[in-house]
Amino acid sequence: MTLAAFTPAAPVRKSWFERLGIGHVLLGAFLLLYPLIASDFFLTTIGGYSMILGMIALSLMLLAGYGGMVSLAQITIAGVAAYVIAIFGENNSNVHGFGWPWWIAAPFGIFLAALFSAMFGWIAVRTEGIYTIMITLAIATASFYFAQQNYTLFNGFPGYSGLRAPEAFGLYWREPRPFYYLCLACAALAYAAVLYGSRSTFGLTLQAIRDNPRRMRAIGYDVTAHKVFAWFLSGLIAGTAGVLLAWFNGRISPGTIAVGPAINILIIAIIGGLRHPIGPFLGAVVVVLMQTFAIDIVGAERFNTLIGLFFLVIVFVSPDGILGLWERFKPSQDRDGWHSRPDGTGV
């Protein structure tokens, strides 16, 4: 035996394909090819809208799953960006509409949403658990009524209409395929950022704060500052979704940021699961499909009952949402040798 045999082996470097994981590759391929099989309706009203709601729910997952802070104000934060698009961009409500180009209005809206998010967070981090939910619900409710009653800035009840998605690179980005791919790109970027960030130093810090804020102070961390920064990051995601929402609907009104939609985001996140960033997107697809087709099944007056019942069943059967069901199902697949177990480290 040669000496070389005793040399410790270098750590095996995984290829990018292995690091990405077979699940991500298959999902990515499906989403990229989805426009080939989907109608325009399924591309935007189901696909694009699911990804927008999924991003808002992802911003909640970041706060709740990693930071232990459940917020009901995520749709409000998305609304900030949407109103910026309406007020600083173009609208046909004859109120404001400063005509800023999209490439200034959109980043400005996202940044302002993140600042508002950090401000909401700065108020909310003084509380824990149910009190955080109550404070953020109060912020969401107050914002809704303020937007509804203030005509100077928010144009009151009707809000703003005639918001147009940009025309750039030879494409009108509200057409079904471009809009779908725009939503997919934003959602994929947000998903990848959260997944990567969960194992970053900041991500570990946030999870440690969730587990034991007192101990984090005792090892030198400014707990409040880290929590507020998590709200800022969450606001970037919700703000991006807010811009897409404005372009998707072509309008923004107080109804978009009402208490009902605020609670919907929480329902989406819980149905999907808060333990992994894919959960909010799963929840969004399920809720959007139900919102769209429940009317055909049980009629217009009962579709919310159907969604409510489905929510109850999910929470009852699997507190971790659809992700929890998947986790239960997955080991049996492994035993059968259908696929190799992922190493769990993610991307």
Which chain residues interact with other proteins by CB under 8 A? 196-197, 199-202, 204-205, 207-208, 210-212, 214-223, 226
Taking the complex as a whole, the smallest distance from the CB of residue 200 to other proteins amounts, in Å, to 5
In the three-class reduction of DSSP (H, G, I as helix; E, B as strand; rest coil), residue 171 is classed as: strand
Taking the complex as a whole, the smallest distance from the CB of residue 280 to other proteins amounts, in Å, to 19
Cβ distance to other proteins smaller for residue 63 or 245: 63
CA distance 287 to 304: 10
* Contact between 184 and 193 (Cβ < 8 Å): no
Taking the complex as a whole, the smallest distance from the CB of residue 217 to other proteins amounts, in Å, to 4
Cβ distance to other proteins smaller for residue 205 or 256: 205
HSE of 236 in the Cβ direction (CA atoms, 13 Å)? Answer: 12
Taking the complex as a whole, the smallest distance from the CB of residue 230 to other proteins amounts, in Å, to 11
Cβ distance to other proteins smaller for residue 1 or 13: 13
Taking the complex as a whole, the smallest distance from the CB of residue 197 to other proteins amounts, in Å, to 6
Which residue in the block uniquely carries the two structure tokens 């909010």?
Answer: 280
Tokens of 105: 């209005």
Cβ distance to other proteins smaller for residue 202 or 326: 202
Q: Which helix (H) or strand (E) holds 219?
A: none
Q: Which of 239, 247, 236 is CA-nearest to residue 90?
A: 247
Tokens of 82: 């949407």
Taking the complex as a whole, the smallest distance from the CB of residue 126 to other proteins amounts, in Å, to 14
Tokens of 187: 């959602």
Q: For residue 172, what are the β-bridge partners?
A: 167
Cβ distance to other proteins smaller for residue 71 or 205: 205
- Let me know if 319 is exposed, middle or buried by CB neighbors in 10 A (0-12, 13-18, 19+): exposed
Cβ distance to other proteins smaller for residue 42 or 111: 111
